[in-house]
Structure 1
Amino acid sequence: MATMALAGLPSLSFASRATPKVLSFYNRHTGETGRAEFWRDGGVVEAGAEALDPLLRDHRQNEVAAIDRRLYHLVSALTERLEFRGDIHVISGYRSDKTNEMLAARSGGVAKKSYHTRAMAVDIALPGIALEQVRDAALALGLGGVGYYPRSGFLHVDTGPVRRW
């Protein structure tokens, strides 16, 4: 079932679907790191994806959600496009409604119906790669939403409709 959901990603070739995919995250808020294979032989490695989910948890509420597996594919495609091999820095992954409401009350830049609350978004930085390059590569993929936050030093990507801000 997870494989069928991922099969619809437009810019992923059959070759890339067969290639094992590994992601390595560093959560800037918790200091935690983790690396896991989430894709092999054309399908999700659920144990690997589940190992990554806590790294993208709502650290304020310590609440873990099953991250949209397409998001892992999107981030993997982005790092492959940029030939990035290091730890992907996570600024924000899943957010509980409580956390999102608190952040929205503090800032006009937080969407009230954020894809973060659906476990379909992540804010990231790729150390050593200019944020503009990361933005341009994410836009070229055309796999979802891309938000560019140069003052804060991160890029938002999500598996919602293709759009940019």
Structure 2
Amino acid sequence: MQPLPRATPDHPTATRQESEGMEPGRRSFLRRLGGLTLAGAAGAIAPGLFSPEAQAAISSAPKRSLAFKSLHTGETLKATYWSNGRYDPHALVDIAHILRDWRADEVGNMDPALYDLLFALRRKLGTDQPFNIISGYRCPKTNAMLASKSDGVAKKSMHMEGKAIDIAVPGRKLTAVRNAALELKLGGVGLYSKSGFVHVDTGRVRQWGS
């Protein structure tokens, strides 16, 4: 996402659907997407990709787990996406599903480095609370629609590449989340106080917003 000063938030709906209650056919279909999701997923952290602090935090953990809550669908998920020295393909698919474009019900090819970013951020914040998802993957059609309505949505958003997520963390101020992400120096960080979220991505290190 390009550095933009303002955003128009998407107001979440409140339907309730637990990930564990997904119908077998859909889960089976998502499992077959595992190869796609794993594309580009390396077994180890690439040197120079993360700051020394972040790399140490990630590398020292024998298991890497994340928790999410979608504010749009009500779905929740807890997943250990890394264990035994490798990414777990089933967990990656499950996370990609909860981060899907909920408007189009389309699952994107997510960057596993984004999960490592969130894992490092979670440890930096010292919290076990789930990440509240405001926006994960966006298909081109959805992004174009949002960009046509708001100057705060980039036409070439990294959300379309599965490399960005807009989040809030229960019990933590947005400024605290923003500051922790900036200290990790893992990518782009945008603060959208009026919209109630922090944007993080795996692009170049930069910051914007208020």
The TM-score, its normalising length taken from structure 2, stands at: 0.75
Aligned to 2:50: 10
Question: Residue by residue, what CA displacement relative to the aligned partner does 1:75-117 show, whole Å, maximum 9, x if unpaired?
Answer: 1100110111011100000000000000000000000000000
User: Shift of residue 66 of structure 1?
Assistant: 2.3
Q: Percent identity?
A: 48
Do residues 59 (structure 1) and 99 (structure 2) align? no
Contact 1:70 1:159 (C-alpha < 8 Å) held by counterparts: yes
Give yes or no for contact 2:69–2:133 (8 Å, CA) kept in 1. Answer: yes
In 2, Cα distance between equivalents of 1:10 and 1:146: 14
Separation (CA, whole Å) in 2 of partners of 1:90 and 1:36: 15
User: Segments of 4+ in structure 1 off by > 3 A?
Assistant: none
Cα gap change, 1:14/1:130 in structure 2, threshold over 3 Å: closer, same or farther? closer
Among 91, 98, 103, the alignment partner of 2:146 is 103
Total equivalences in the alignment? 165
Q: CA RMSD in A?
A: 1.6
Would the aligned equivalents of 1:2 and 1:43 in 2 still touch at CA under 8 Å?
Answer: no
Equivalent position SS for 1:52: helix
Are the structure 2 counterparts of residues 14 and 138 from structure 1 closer, same or farther at C-alpha, using a change threshold of 3 Å?
Answer: closer
Distance of 1:119 and 1:128 partners within structure 2: 26
Residue of structure 2 equivalent to 1:42: 85
Q: Secondary structure at the match of 1:109?
A: coil
SS at match of 1:70: helix
Would the alpha carbon gap of residues 18 and 119 (structure 1) be closer, same or farther in structure 2, given more than 3 Å must change?
same
2:64 aligned partner, one-letter code: K
Question: Which one has more relative contact order, counting CA pairs under 8 Å at least 6 apart?
Answer: 2
Pick the structure with more strand per residue.
1
Rg: which structure is higher?
2
Q: Residue 79 of structure 1: which of 122, 126, 144 is its match?
A: 122
Q: Gapped runs of 5+ residues in structure 2?
A: 1-39
TM-score (norm 1): 0.94
Q: Give the drift of 1:73.
A: 0.4
> Where does residue 30 of structure 1 map in the other structure?
73
